[in-house]
Amino acid sequence: MALLPEIDEEKTIANVRDFFEHDFKRLQNMAHISYVSIKSPIISGMPTGSSVSNSTADKLTNYSYARKTLDDVTRACEHMPEIYRAVLEYRYFKGLSWLQVTDRLDYSTRRGQQLINDSLLQFAEAFSDVYDYRVFK
């Protein structure tokens, strides 16, 4: 009997890859909202409602959420073994292609693919206390 449930590696890798290829980019954009575009609230005696949901509070909430999540991603990566951290850094933080990542790390394409998948699995474990991308069998 195993102490820990078995992870469905294929589905877990797909979840983490989807996060980095879609949500991560969006979070990066959200975290760079310029404070210049956020206007000071106008206080008046009359309550007002807005049909636009992009209020100052929403912008600040989105910005804060994005910054915190990106900090959590960075923290999770810091606790990963160096080779796996390097793979994710080159691919998602520096925007290199997978081929460029394997070339930069001086690995064959086959070994590079294995490292890529292992890196995504390592991230899923390291990030699981923030959001669990793991899929169990």
- For residue 47, being part of any structural domain is answered with no
Does a structural domain hold residue 39?
Answer: no
Q: Is residue 42 part of a domain?
A: no
pLDDT tens-digit series, residues 52-89: 555 778 878 888 899 999 999 999 999 999 999 999 99
Q: What number is the average pLDDT over the span 101-111?
A: 91
- The mean pLDDT value of the chain amounts to 85
**pLDDT at res. 52:** 54
Whole domain around residue 63: which residue ranges? 9-32+55-127
Helix axes 24-31, 56-78, angle to 10 degrees: 120
First to last CA, the chain: 14
pLDDT, position 51: 52
Asked if residue 43 is part of any domain, the answer here is no
CATH number at residue 106: 1.20.140.160
Angle at 18 between CA 13 and CA 24, to 5 degrees: 120
The total of structural domains in the chain comes to: 1
Say if 94 falls within a structural domain. Answer: yes
Contact 69, 76 (CB under 8 A): no
